[in-house]
Structure 1
Amino acid sequence: MFNKFLRENKIATVILTVLRLYLGYSWVTAGIGKLTSGGFDASGFIKGAIANPVKGPDGAVVFGWYVDFLKHFALPNVDIFNIVVPVGETLIGLGLILGCLTTAAMFFGLVMNFTFFLAGTVSHNPRDIFIGFIILTAGYNAGKIGLDHWVVPFIRKMSNKNASPDKAKATV
């Protein structure tokens, strides 16, 4: 019932637009801030997450696999992350603000939120994840007041045009 409301209701479309703009602004300002600061460097954050991993009440490392990922992949390739993080944040924010490929933007936003969360950064991540799941669940309706109004039908049309003739007939 709630999913139907999120996916089909016009009032939900307006509420989702407000949530999308709020979250998009947060993402785009974070990304642009890193891009214009004169040299974003993720190595300090990564080293801090490795040195102080998330621990459970018994003192054991909770996400040991993630610490291994940071130590053996992220840190040696930090130059890639120094580009991917600020550009990704900016693109996620623009996608949400413009309502263009909203579900894809929100999916990648959630991926980034969870990576920060796994590293032990709580901050505003729980709120952003909660809002993000609402937007992601709403699907097309979240971007209906935005460029998705035109982009999604165009993509569907192109997808049907490129499908095999039998499949295209079945979807018409």
Structure 2
Amino acid sequence: MFNQTLRQNKVSAIILTFIRLYVGYAWFEAGLHKITGGFDATGFLKGAIGNPVKGPDGSILYGTYLTFLKSFALPNAHIFNVLVPWGELLVGIGLILGCLTTAAMFFGLVMNFSYLMAGTISSNPMDILLGVIILAAGFNAGKIGLDRWVIPFIRKTAHKGNNYTIKQSA
């Protein structure tokens, strides 16, 4: 019942718009700050590797993620120096405009969880909570936005592209 209200109710669409704008502005501002202020992920990556998230018994909680940081992210920090700021900026733009909202929020959540697994708390838990609400709402989260036109266009275009036929053998 709650999920249906979240996905179809007009009042929910209005509330979701405010949530979407709030979260989108936070992402946009973070990305813009990194792009204009110069961003280098190397220090953050070294810090996450040097001080991994540990459980109460002192064991490393996200060993696979730590291996990813050591073996891929740090040697390729130059890639993350571009992906992180532009990813944040584009997630923010998508959420603010309500364009490809669920895709933007999905990638925002991927970044939020990456930051958490690296040991950064900040506003990530609240961003994740709001992001899950936006993602669960689906199309209704971007209904008061460009998704109102973009999603039907994509569906129509994708449907036209499926002109294949399945031949049945006799």
When normalised by structure 1's length, the TM-score is 0.95
Deviation string 1:23-59 (CA, Å, 9 cap, x unpaired) is: 000000000000000x200000000000000000001
Where does residue 94 of structure 2 map in the other structure?
Answer: 95
Whole-Å separation in 2 of the counterparts to 1:75 and 1:143: 36
Q: How many residues align?
A: 166
Who is 2:83 aligned against? 84
Letter of the 2:12 counterpart = A
Match of 2:115 in 1: 116
**1:32 aligned partner:** 32
The one-letter amino acid of 1:125's match is N
Letter in 2 for 1:85: V
Query: Match for 2:27: what amino acid?
Result: W
**1:13-162 pair list within 5 angstroms:** 13-37=13-37, 39-162=38-161
In 2, the alpha carbon distance for the partners of 1:165 and 1:54 equals 50
Shift in Å, 1:164 = 2.3
Report the Cα distance in structure 1 between the residues aligned to 2:106 and 2:163, rounded to whole angstroms.
Answer: 29
- TM-align CA RMSD: 1.0
Q: Percent identity?
A: 64
Indicate the residue corresponding to 2:7 in structure 1.
7
Structure 2 unaligned residues grouped into runs of 5+: none
Whichever residue aligns with residue 8 of structure 2, its letter is: E
Residue identity in the other structure for 1:95: G
Matched residue SS, 1:139: helix
Change (3 A) 1:57 1:145: same
Regions of 4+ moved over 6 Å = none
Partner Cα distance (1:102, 1:52) in 2: 34
How much does 1:166 deviate?
5.7
Return the TM-score normalized by structure 2: 0.96
Instruction: Measure, in 2, the Cα distance between the counterparts of 1:123 and 1:32.
Output: 18
1:81 Cα deviation from its structure 2 partner: 0.1
Note closer, same or farther for the CA distance 1:166–1:145 as it changes in structure 2 (3 Å cut).
Answer: farther
